[in-house]
Structure formats: C-alpha cells, structure tokens
A and B are shown apart, each in its own frame.
Chain A
Amino acid sequence: MISLSDVTYHYPRSDSPALSNLSLEIPAGQFCAVIGANGSGKSTLCSALAGFVPHFYRGKLTGSVEVAGIDTAGSSLAELAGTVGLVFANPFNQITGARFTVREEVAFGLENLGVPLAEMEPRIDEVLAFVRLTDLADQSPYALSGGQQQRLAIASVLVMRPKILVLDEPTSQLDPIGSKEVFAVLRDLAATDEATVVLAEQKLEWVATFADRVLVLHKGKLVADGPPAEVLSSLTLTKYGLEPTRYTQAARAAQAAGWRTDETTLPVTLEQAVEFFR
C-alpha cells in the first residue's frame, strides 16, 4: 500500500538531508505510528507520503515514494488529493474559511471531487457520527474547541475516503481533553481493519495502546521498526531523544531494585504494567 525505496530528501537550501536512505513497506490496513524527537524527519515523512514533498516544498528527492500504487513524484497534488488524506497539528489552519457550517466544511472536499449531492449527504452524516460531531453539524467551524476542530479536520479528510490517512502530530496543539477526544477517534480508526493510517506522534503512551507497528526516526533515518511492545520498551529509545512511557520507566526502576529481573519485555501500557507488577 505504501512503499518507500531508498528515499533521500533535502529541503531547498539545506545541506543535511531531512530523510536519508529511507526504505519501508506499510501494508494495507495497518495502523503505523512514527515516533522520533523534534527534527527527526517525522513531518517530512508525512509530507512525502501526501506528495507535499517535493511538490509543495520543492527541494531534492531521490528514491521513490509509492502510495496506493501511485508514484508521488510523477503525480500531482490534485491527483493525490482524495487518495492520501493529511491532517496536521494546527486545527485552526485546516479549516477552509470558505464554508459557514461544520457540515458544509466537511462537504468541501467532496464538492471539489465532484461527488453528486445524493451521495454526499449520507457520507457526511456517516463521518460526523464517526468523529462524534453530529450535534455540532450546524455550528460555525470557528465556534468549535481545538479538539472539536481537529476532529472536524479528520472528518473532512475521511469523508473523501482516502486509501491512506496521514496524521502529523494531530494532538500537539491541543489541551489534554482535546487530545483525548482525538485519540478516541484514532482508536476507533485503528479498530477498523480497512484504514491504512500513518500517525506521527510524540505521546508514546497513546501510541502503545492502538498502533499495530511503531517506526522510530532519528536524523532522517529509520532506526527501529516493530510492534509497540518491543520498540517502546527498548533501551535504545533514550538514545534517540525519546522518553519511554512511565510504565516502562517504573518497570525498569523495579528491575533495578530486584523485581522480576528475568522479564525481558517491559510494559508499555497500563494493562501490561498491572500484569508486570502483579
């Protein structure tokens, strides 16, 4: 579904690559989390999947990025729109400003794709229910809270039925309640097997609970790749500027004090921590 082979990318006027010899395959239906410190290349990877690298940011891209069978470099943003959906950090800037209600905002992408009206309405109702915004459908998008606006941004992209959904730190500008609401939607998304999702995220405890797979980027390179329990509990995480979850930290402290020293996989979620300390 997603295939990167030997991708190296330089932003314009930059000597160091933002992505460096990156190769990876993400099969359809997988919920894949990308973690890494600031400047590790998470956002650049997201932009590359949606075609904004190189079509929007320019710069130099070598290697190939293929999403849903389309080579992004040989395609255009207009062609990719609808196939790859992108949601980014600032919820406010994702509102078009040209529509006056939540429902019309969701419709914007469908209107541009030329989806007939009869098909539009049920699709909008469906995504609004999915992100739990049905009650706010007739409100102004600007009247919503940050968390609601971010769910609106997700709905506006999901309604176009993209084959791949890319989320670039969707909760980094939200308060804890807003983040929780957005993660609830992402959890539902992970539960459906059809969605292929790439989520760049800093909040490892959330990632641990619903990602199928975790990729770790460091200085534009892929340095770890595997199931969350394995990657997130790894000792090397701190080397890449990442802080392990508090469950892992607590378990390590307990091991240092002599508790269950034989255990090799440390907990990364609350449930696993309960099991570990039982």
Chain B
Amino acid sequence: MSATYGLYVSKQTAIHRLHPLTKLTYVLTCLLIAWIVPGVWAPYIVLLVGIVPVALMAQVFPNVVQNTIKTTIPFAISLFIVQGLFWTGGTIIQQLGPFSLKEEGLLFAIRGTGRIIIAVSGFLLLSYATRSDELMLALSQKGLPSRISYVILSTLQIIPRFQHKANTILDAQRSRGLETEGSFLIRTRALLPLVFPLLLGSIVDIEERAIALEVRAFGRSGPKTSLLVLHDTNRQRLFRRLLILVSLGVIALRIYLWLAPRFAA
C-alpha cells in the first residue's frame, strides 16, 4: 500500500498543482455566493459555473458527482416532503389525496437542496484535488496552531485503524461465544464487550502516542520547518485577494438588500 491522503485522488492536473489556500478560498467563495445570493436558482448557477468546470479540469468530476448524489439524496427527499407538502399557506399546485403540494414549499426545497449540493460538492472537490497535509501546512503557515492540524490529520489516518481494531476485538469476542447477530436486543447486548476493550485500549494508546509526540519535540515552541514545500505564485495570491473582495462584495450586497426595504419603509 502506498501512501494515501484521505479522499485525495492523485492526478497531474493544473488544479492539483494549485496552492491549497487558492483552492480553499475558491470553494469557500462559491459556497458563500450560493448561500447568500437571493434567488432559488443561485446555487445551481454557481454549481454549473463554479464547481463543474473545475471538477472537470481536475479530472475528478465522476467522483464528485457520485458522492454528492449519495450524500445529498436523503436530505433532498426529506426537504421536498416536509417543505413541499407541509408548507403553511402558499399556492397549491397539485392536490395529492389529503396533502397539497405548495409552490413556495417546492421552491424552498429546490433552493435548500442546491445549497447542500454546493456545500457537499465543493468540499469533495477540495478533498479530491488537495492533499490534506498540504492544506494543513498552508493553514499552519497562516497561524493555525500545530495541535489543531495534528488532531485533524491524525484523525484522518487513525479512524481506519480504529475500525480495524474494533473488528479484531469483535472477532476475539465472537470466538469466545459472543452472539453478535440476530435481534436488536442481542446486538445491543453484544455492544458492551466490544466498546469497553476498545475504549480502554484506546486510552492506553493515547498515553503512548503522547509520549511518542513528546520524544519527537512536538511540544517545543519556536519556529518549525517543513519537509513539504508549497508552491505559491503572485498570480495565485492576486486571485485569492480577488476572491476575498468578491466575497466581501456579495456580503455587502446581501446586507444592502436586507436593509434597504426597512429604510424605505
């Protein structure tokens, strides 16, 4: 097994080569526009103009589509049922037995779904095209405490190991005759002999890991260096500033649209 970096898909594209902060700022700007620009279709326009082309360029479009659909569908279904059918007041467009489909509810659900799609696809795009350690290094260089970036990075790697350990304990308990299949009650009862060894074992692991980190001078204050080198360009710095300006502009516009009617009245 060669090194894996969370969701990262290793490709040689211009998007992959961008500085992590450029990609992060871009995705956050897309998200901001989709969430606060008024209009039912705003998220979908951002999706088509902002996310889709970049996903295609990064050659991760199928991955983004697949996982966005998987993640969004449960939210979308509940939004459409709850908002579409149970909107109070509003224009009825279709009577479905005792329920009535409301236009306003439907539009709200479309907009809500769009916002979720943007959030999910944006972060998937970022994760597929950016190594998590490069992103964390970039954020550390911007002042993110090394302890926080350690927690995020190690969690990404330790969760699969945790699952592996849980399976080992489960197998061990099964071989001692623990019933783990069957009714809800049986499965619930099987949980305790699994959870306790897992938690106790993890506490011991944490102590040793803390020692290992101290040995490697993790607790030392003062400047740190990095084996990883991030490539940044003046053009990207300019682009990021532009994105921040756009974001501020959108926020200002939103505040104006919110305040204007109040002053007019």
Contact = CB atoms under 8 A, between A and B. Distances in A.
B208 A109 contact: no
B72 to A, nearest CB: 29
Given A78-B217, A78-B219, A112-B217, A101 B3 contact: yes
A250 interface: no
B95 interface: no
B1 A140 contact: yes
Contact of A78 (B4, B209, B220, B228): B220
B161 to A, nearest CB: 7
Contact of A81 (B154, B209, B215, B229): B215
A95 B161 CA distance: 12
B86 interface: no
15 contacts: A56-B214, A78-B214, A82-B220, A85-B215, A90-B208, A92-B161, A96-B150, A96-B216, A98-B133, A98-B150, A98-B154, A111-B227, A114-B225, A117-B225, A120-B227
Interface string B143-155: 0000001100110
Interface residues of A, number: 47
B225 to A, nearest CB: 5
B208 A94 contact: yes
Contacts of A38: none
Interface in A249-269: none
A160 B216 contact: yes
A16 interface: no
A50 B216 CA distance: 12
A116 interface: yes
A99 B157 CA distance: 9
Interface string B1-24: 111110000000000000000000
A114 B4 contact: no
Interface core residue of A96, A97, A103, A156 (most chain B CB under 10 Å):
A97
Given A99-B133, A140-B4, A143-B2, A114 B222 contact: yes
Contact of B224 (A86, A111, A124): A111
Given A97-B153, A98-B154, A100-B5, A112 B212 contact: no
Contact of A86 (B2, B158, B215, B227): B215
Interface of B: 1-5, 131, 133, 149-150, 153-154, 157-158, 161, 205, 208-229
A86 B211 contact: yes
B217 A81 contact: yes
Contacts of B220: 78, 81-82, 112-113
Contacts of A98: 133, 149-150, 153-154, 157
A278 B161 CA distance: 53
A160 B225 CA distance: 14
Contacts of B209: 93, 96-97
Contacts of B149: 98
A198 to B, nearest CB: 14
A112 B133 contact: no
A52 interface: yes
A277 interface: no
Contacts of B157: 97-98, 100, 142
A103 B228 CA distance: 11
Contacts of B153: 97-99
Interface string A109-149: 11111111100110010000000000000111011000000
A108 interface: yes
